[in-house]
Each structure stands twice: as C-alpha cells, then as structure tokens.
Structure 1
C-alpha cells in the first residue's frame, strides 16, 4: 500500500507540467475519495476545505481566523443595513471573474447563487436561509437582501462556507449535473481534473481579483490510511497533510525536521445522536443510561488533552449562545445498568450504527463502543465509505449516528440544523436532525426572531437544557483541526483557525525555497 501510494504520486508529479520547483503544492487528505463538489451540496470535511480554495462569498472571515469578529469584504466591497436589520444592501466589486470562459460575475450571479442556496431541492443548507424574504439585483453590481425577521448573524450566512459560496449562474446552468464534479467558482484556484479515489487537481486562477496565486497547481490527494499519509509526508512526497485527530500524531509529526504543526479552531464537535423513534432508544431511560456510560474524561485523554475539549452541551463551547448550565450525566456504570434494568433490559441492549471509515471519526466511535460495552450496551458498527455514510444517515437508516461537525459559531445554526423538528431527516425540510428531537422548537424559533440579545441568550440556554434533559444526543468532545506542512511553505498568514477546517491556501501562499 505504501509503495503504491508513493509510486503513484511520484509518477503523477513527473507526468505533470514542467513547472519550476516550488510551484506545485501536494496535499494529503484523510479520505478515500471526493464527495460532491457542488459547494451548496458538499457537507463533508474533506470537500469543504477543497472548495474553500475555489469559491468566494460576499464577505469572508480573515484568512487564518475562525471567529466572526474577523469578517471582512470579499466579493462585496461594502454593505449597509437598515435600522431594523431587515434590509441589507451590498455593493459588489466589478473585477471578479468566473473561472474558465464564464465571464465576469455580477449581481445576477449573486442573486442566483443565494436563491439556489435557499432552494431545498438543490441545497443541503436551504434551512439556513428561511429568513430570506427576497434577494434582488438593485444594480448591475448591487444586491439587496430583505429578511422576514432579524437573524443572529446575517453576515455569517454570506461567508464562503456552505450556502454562502457564490457560484456562477452560466456555469451551473451549462454544466447541469456535471457541476457536482466540475465546480466553477471565482476563487484563487480553479478546478482542473478529478481522478476517482486518487486526487483532485487545481490550477492557479490568473484572473483572480486579489492577484494571481504564486502556487500554480495543487494536487489534493486522497490517502485514507494514516500510516500511508504520514509516510508520504515524511518522505517529502506530500507538502501538507491532514492529521489524525489525536495527541500522538502531533507529537510524532512534530519530530520530523522542517515541519510546522497547526492545531486549529473551531473544533469539530463529536456528538452521538440517538434516534428516539427506534426501540430501545424510544425510552429516555435507555438514552440516559447511554449518557452515563460515556466517560468524557477518558475520551479527552484518548484523543489528547492538548487537541481535544470535553463537550457538555449540544452547542459547542465558544459559540455565541453556548451554556454549560445543562443537565449532565456523570460517568457511572452502576447508574447506567440500573436505568437499563428499570427500562426492562437487565441483560443490556444492542444498538446499531452506520459509520464512516474516515480515520479520525472511526477511532472515536470505536472508543465509545468499548466504553458502552462496560455497561452491557452492545454497539454494532457497520462501516461504509464517507460519502455513502452521509447518504445513508440522511435517509434515516442509522439507529445511532456519530456526527462530527463545526458550523458558523452562533448557537442558532447548531440548534436549528441538529435539533429543530423541521430538520428531522427523512422529512421534506430535512437537514441533520438524526435524533428526531422536537423538544426545543419553541425556544429555537423564538431566539431566531428575538430582538433583545439577552432574551435571545436565555432562549438558547433553555433550548440546550431541554435537549440534554431529553438526551436527544450525547455531546462527546470537540476535536481541534490538525494539519502539518513543510516549513518551507509560507501561507502568508498566521494560522489560528479556519471555519472550513483546512489551512488557508490563498494567492499569498508560496514556497520559500
């Protein structure tokens, strides 16, 4: 396996263009293959990072940061908002070109793109845009968004992340279904080639409005094996590598000469969603027993205390609206077994999960499996490739769903997507409510339209308390994003975080030798 990967990559590089040394960036991603490369459809971590280098939003978070406090202009050069927060007007740059032969991007493209993001027949993120009343071109390079009600962070919905990615209308319409494998954006890098289960190749966009990138091509290589990926990095075949999400990886890779390791925010929060419509999980006593059987301290030690945070609430720590004032379930095998017996299962229960083969996630789930076994809870895991995993859990096929995610850091996004009844999988308005939770709808909806910030925080806190009392899901840990790259690769910014869960490879990135 190692020889095949190394030989294939070397052949690929030799067969590439005769670029000068230092103009090709080789990246090793811990995934078996690409998913869907349409930015309004793509939900997996490997795809989000790749797409981030190809697309822009109306605004963006400053490269190298993850906090919404660092929002700055992107396609829009300026914007204004009405006093009531319901009307937002964006003045666009006039020098933004779509990749290839699709011409200049203007207000019509932005209107098309945001309406597409809000279309549940097309977009995986349509639920985020239900507050949009209208999006109109009020000039060739001016777009006005009118809202039905104020939203907690409108600008956060317009960064190049999920539905905020701006697409080119002519490209989407011309390519049709092929757009999922031939993404056309406006970013610093352009899609060039896709080889299934091998790589996606990007090339520099010479017309990029911030300037032509110094790096001329990127090979985004799919190497699911942690050992093979590490070997390729150590041997110099890979310049940048997606890390295994544990402490030992950081310690080991840091010892490779000439290596820079980044521990990036936001953390992806691992949550065990329990389908409350499927026996025995329809009994809250069983769900609480599972919660008591999970030892978060052990999970933090397993994943690594320097790269992991314990999770206590259905909203990640650090998000606006987070509270730790929620019902908690101390680690207690005795309490877990007692609850199971009370629920009529003195000999334990068996529960089943469909799960991804993605290394960082499967190791977490296997550790949970071992913990639950101590309480006579038998967790059976069926592993499938990552894209298949996303497809099947959205069809409501898994009794237990381990989902690891980061979202724009405002409580509304997480609560709406994972715990509002409108988001229940298998329904026409489905997003990612795998547990069929519906206990906090009133608070989630109320917070979304609340104009008083204090009232909004109170409603978000109450929603979190209700979800934890009902044990719709069990938060486990937040795993910070781990990457490493050669210290000869200068990304041009200090890397503290990335909402898209990958380092910012922009027009400024370059090799120093």
Structure 2
C-alpha cells in the first residue's frame, strides 16, 4: 500500500503526457545526432552519457569542474588501498517506487562485468575481485590490486536488480527526471521526478529533439521551437545566432579533444611514417582560424588538455610541413608515382557523420592530403551507422572527439592491448607491450608525482607512434533562449544542471540537496 501511494504522483504525471502533451514549464534541447542506448551499463556515446545523469543516479558524480562528489553515496571511505566502502542514502527510490539498496548497486556492476553481456564498460572493472553487500545500505568493493582511479569508474547510473539486458527500453533510474517517452531518431521526453532525493527539479519537463540537419537545427532555434543548443552550433553560424533577438550565446574555453583515428591493422596505416606524414600534412592552425573562426586551440598534446595535471606538452610535435610529409611517405615505401602529376601514392577512406561542419573539415583535410599525394574518399553516415562502424573497426580513417576528459586513466581505456572493443575504446587495435606495462603501473601507483612521470612517458610514446593525429581542443559554445536561468556548462557536456534551470518569473519548486 505504501509503495502504491509513492507511485501515484509519478503515474499521474506520466499519464498527463501519454498522448504527447508535456504539462507545465519546460525546456526544449536540440541534439545533433541520435542515441543508440540509454542503458547506463552499456552507454559510452557522448550524448547518452550527457543525458544519463538526468535519469540515473550513481554512487559518485562529477561536478562542473570534474571533481568527484557523492550522489547515491551518503559517504564513502577506503579502509585500505584495495577496499572501498560506500554507505547509501536511505529512502531513495527508483522511478517505479522501489527503494535503492546495496543489492541494486552490486547487481549493476556485476552485470557490466559479465563477459556474456559484452559491455564496453567492462574493462574499467577488471581490477574488481568482489562486490559485497554488507547490509541494505552498505556495499564494499574489494580489488585484486591497487587501482588509483577506481572511484571514477563509479559514476555509472545504478539500475534496479534484475533489470533485463539489451532491451530497447532502458531500465528505470532514480534521477531528477523520469523518462516519459523515447522515439529513437526523433525525440526524448523527460518529466520531473517529484520524489527525487535532491529536491524536485524546477522545470516540469525536458524535451530533447534530434535535429541532425544543421540548417534545420539553427532555424528551429531561431523560430523558438528549441531553447538550448550545446556544442552543436557550427562556427560559421555563431554570429548569426548572436544577432537573433531573444538568444544569448555563451562561450568558454573547453577541453573537448578532436582527433583523427586510424585502423592500425590496415596495410598502409600500419606504417608509423604514414600516420606521421598525415599529421604533418594538415595545417591545423589554418582550419582553426578560417573554418572554426578561432573557436578552438591547436592540440599539441594527446587527449589530455593543457589544464590537466598529467598533461605532457614536451612530446613529438607535428607542425605543418608538407615537404616532410612527402619525405616520410617516401621512407615508408610509398613514393610519388608521377611527380607533379595527378596520380596518388595511395588512397584511403575517411568516415564521418552527416554533420555539415564535420563534412566541411573532412573535405579540407582531403585537400591537404592530396598535396602530399594521398587520395581521400570522404564518406558520411548517419550517426548510429557511423559510430557502429567505428566500434567494430570497420574503417581506415575517422574523426571523433573525446569530451570532458579529467582522469588520465583514460589512456588505459583507449590504448591498452586489452581495451579493444567491447572491452574498451582501443578502436584502432594499437598494441605496444611497453605501453601496456606502463599503463598497468600507472594504475597501481599512488604517488602523484610518480604517476605524472608515467603519464608523461605514455603520452610521448603515443605521440611518437602517431596513434592519433591531434587536431584541436574545441571551445564550449551554448546558445540559450533568454528567460532561462541556472544553466551551467559541465566539463563533459552533461546536462546535469537542467535540474536547477528555471524560467524567470516561474521559479517552480526548489530544494537544497541534502
């Protein structure tokens, strides 16, 4: 009976919008691409991870500056170097009314670790020896070895025990908003959770609209059908947005890392000199100045931004040098077949999304590589198809970005030999025994000065091997309709602050997080 009483307000709210009507005050957010899954045990794509914290609560969360803070955990401690103890908030409930307990926490991580589920997150928990439920509100993680960055792996949304795996409809969460409807490729609608332990959100609903076409996305913002665009406005449109009455443009220096990735199993790209040549052949600064209108800074590091404590800038650098690019191609055994003639040394396929700016940049890169004698076929795909190909290794060259990287342990996830999908994001199939050893040592090293030395060596190896071609760090750019207050940009682009956003003149319910 008590559970039925708890569920009644939620069911009434969901019924109000069953036919598509969103009741009360809300905000409409435009997204540039679709979402493959919302299940936090599977989701690794940026948009899903940015929306996820609105639906799911986690043991720990990262604040706007990338610092770990308690979420479902009331407190946490580390009795020894291999043990982590978490005490949960009491009375927190999933959206279906069931209380969140230590059994749910354990079940969430056990399901990720199950090799039969092939979760792309599984590699982050290789060090876990056991997960023990001490009592209803206490859970203990015991590791096989020291893993300094382990707390960062505990920001995954918690699902109810027994949640089915691999279903289209994701499990229920316990976050500030409830998933009301999801129409893949079209929209995602959330309604406020009146029982949220952190206090009811100020907005009644959030509608995420999938607007893959750039022109459509901008026009919808202009005419008032969208209220918020985050990091999906092309540089050429910024001045246009600034001139539209009723809109505000917010710009901040960001840490989003754009890069070219390579399939190292490819017979051409397996040559380090070829990847180095491509890196020297591209005038990144010219692209930043002319195409990106200065809304980025050149990336002279590997993945980490210059603001990260482990960043190493003293690495092999790839200045624009088309002459050197040609020399490297010659040395790799790919001579120019006809001097200044039209024939290419070889040709590659470059995969990207259907985003207009991404395609434009791909065409510019094609022009630079042509001058070095490399042919490039630019192929654009709908986001889901594109990302699926990258995960499967079905590519030669692609361009993507890593968003909001704070923990340098990401290098293990990206480049360790054991991190080939689905166990991680070593999508290029890079293998280096020396690097593997250093990565493993970095996870076990507690002293931060020593860890910095190890990460310095890791970045130098990766730069020398040109596993990625570093392009730039993109500024954060938000277009927000005037009248909304409380929005905050997060390092990873999470929409978490939407739980605190309100429409001026209609502040709605608010409460301090306990």
TM-score tier by shorter-chain length is: 0.7 to 0.9
1:74 aligns with 71
1:331 aligns with 2:320: yes
Q: CA deviation at 1:408?
A: 4.2
225 and 351 in structure 1: CA distance in 2 versus 1, 3 angstrom threshold: same
Runs (4+) of structure 1 exceeding 6 A deviation are: none
Deviation of the 1:340 alpha carbon: 1.7
Indicate conservation of the 8 Å contact 1:203/1:217, yes or no: yes
Q: How many residues align?
A: 478
Match of 1:19 among 23, 32, 36: 23
322-331 or 400-409, which deviates more = 400-409
TM-score, normalised by the number of residues in structure 2: 0.87
Q: Structure 1 unaligned runs (5+)? A: 1-12
Task: Quote how far apart the aligned CAs of 1:455 are.
Answer: 1.9
Q: Once structures 1 and 2 are overlaid, which stretch shifts more, 323-332 or 334-343?
A: 334-343
Equivalent in the alignment of 1:497: 490
Please say if residues 316 and 322 of structure 1, whose CA atoms lie closer than 8 Å, have aligned partners that are also in contact: yes
Change beyond 3 A, Cα 1:306–1:92: farther
TM-score, length-scaled by structure 1: 0.87
The 5 A counterparts of 1:255-274 are 255-263=243-251, 266-274=254-262
3-state SS in 1 of match to 2:401: strand
CA positional deviation for 1:435 = 4.6
CA gap of 1:26–1:245, structure 2 versus 1, over 3 A, is closer
Query: Which range moved further: 358-367 or 384-393?
Result: 358-367
C-alpha distance in structure 2 between counterparts of 1:370 and 1:41, whole Å: 38
What is the rounded CA distance, in whole Å, between the counterparts of 2:471 and 2:383 in structure 1?
20
Q: 1:498 to 1:265 in 2, by over 3 A?
A: farther
Q: Within 2, Cα distance between the matches of 1:18 and 1:44?
A: 27
Using a 3 Å threshold, how does the CA distance of structure 1 residues 319 and 303 change in structure 2: closer, same or farther? farther
Secondary structure at the counterpart of residue 254 of structure 1 = helix
Q: Which of 275, 294, 301 pairs up with 1:313?
A: 301
Please list the CA deviations of residues 127-178 of structure 1 after superposition, one character each: whole Å capped at 9, or x if unmatched.
112222222111110111122233333332222xxxx2212224x23xx433
- 1:460 aligned onto 2:455: yes
Q: Distance in 1 between matches of 2:358 and 2:94?
A: 36
Say if 1:230 and 1:456 are closer, same or farther in 2 by CA, change over 3 A.
Answer: same
Contact 1:355 1:382 in 2 (8 A): yes
Aligned pairs for 1:104-503 (under 5 A) are 104-120=99-115, 121-159=117-155, 164-170=156-162, 172-173=163-164, 176-178=165-167, 180-244=168-232, 246-263=234-251, 266-304=254-292, 306-317=294-305, 318-342=307-331, 343-347=333-337, 348-359=345-356, 361-406=358-403, 408-413=405-410, 415-425=411-421, 429-438=423-432, 440-491=435-486, 495-499=488-492, 501-503=493-495
Q: SS in structure 1 opposite 2:453?
A: helix
Q: Which residue of 2 aligns with 1:85?
A: 81
How far off its partner does 1:40 sit? 2.1
The 3-state SS of whatever aligns with 1:212 is coil
Deviation at 1:422, TM superposition (A): 1.1
Query: Alpha-carbon deviations, 1:296-343, whole Å to 9, x = none?
Result: 212322453653121122232133321011111221111111222232
Offset, 1:407: 5.1
Aligned residue for 2:392, secondary structure, equals coil
CA 1:147–1:469 in structure 2 vs 1: closer, same or farther (change >3 Å)?
Answer: same
Per-residue deviation, 1:52: 2.3
Equivalent residue, structure 2, for 1:5: none
2-structure distance, mates of 1:302, 1:57: 42
Shift of 1:469: 1.2
> What is the distance in 2 between the residues matched to 1:379 and 1:256?
38
- Following superposition, the deviation at residue 360 of structure 1 comes to 5.0
Residue 191 of structure 1: how far off its partner (Å):
0.9
Distance (Å, rounded) in 2 between the aligned partners of 1:115 and 1:58: 15
Contact 1:132 1:147 survives alignment (8 Å) = yes
How far apart, in 2, do the equivalents of 1:143 and 1:214 lie?
32
Q: Distance in 2 between matches of 1:431 and 1:232?
A: 34
What's the CA shift string for 1:168-226, capped at 9, x where partnerless?
224x23xx433x43341111111111223221111111211112222122211111112
Task: Name the CA distance, whole Å, in 1 between partners of 2:158 and 2:291.
Answer: 36
- Whether the 8 Å CA contact 1:243–1:482 is kept in 2: the answer is yes
d(CA) in 2 for partners of 1:15 and 1:233?
25
Q: Distance in 2 between matches of 1:166 and 1:263?
A: 33
Q: Aligned partners of 1:144 and 1:264: how far apart in 2?
A: 39
Deviation per residue, 1:51-92 (Å, 9 max, x gap): 221111112223xx1322xx322100111112x422111110
Is the CA contact (8 Å cut-off) linking 1:311 and 1:476 kept in structure 2?
yes
Checking the alignment, whether the CA contact within 8 Å between 1:245 and 1:479 is kept in structure 2 is no
| Conserved? CA contact 2:22–2:205, under 8 Å | no
**Alpha-carbon offset, residue 18 of structure 1:** 6.8
| Paired residue secondary structure (1:355) | strand
RMSD (Å) for aligned C-alpha atoms: 2.4
How far does residue 420 in structure 1 lie from its aligned partner after superposition? 1.3
CA distance in 2, matches of 1:28, 1:245: 10
5+ residue gaps, structure 2, are 1-16, 338-344, 506-514
